[in-house]
Amino acid sequence: MDRSTLIAIVFLLGVLALKRLAFEIKRKHRPDYYRETYLKSGEWQRKRYVVLRRDNWRCVYCGGRATQVHHKKYAKINIGKEPIEWLVSICENCHDTIHH
Residues at the site binding Zn ion, with contacts judged by CB under 5 A: 59, 61-62, 64, 70, 91, 94
C-alpha distances in angstroms, 42 versus 5, 24, 61, 63, 78? 49, 22, 26, 27, 16
Alpha carbons within 13 angstroms on the beta-carbon side of residue 54 total: 16
User: C-beta of 77: minimal distance to Zn ion in Å?
Assistant: 20
Provide Rg for the chain, Cα atoms: 21
Nearer to Zn ion, 19 or 53 (CB): 53
- Shortest distance, position 25 Cβ to Zn ion, whole Å: 23
Q: Are 80 and 38 in contact (CB under 8 A)?
A: yes
- Residue 18 to residue 100: CA distance in whole angstroms: 37
State the minimum distance, in angstroms, from the CB of residue 7 to Zn ion. 50
Of the two residues 25 and 39, which places its CB atom closer to Zn ion in the complex?
39
Q: Considering the complex, state which of residue 46 and residue 72 has its C-beta at the smaller distance from Zn ion.
A: 72
Name the minimum Å distance from CB 75 to Zn ion. Answer: 14
Nearer to Zn ion, 34 or 61 (CB): 61
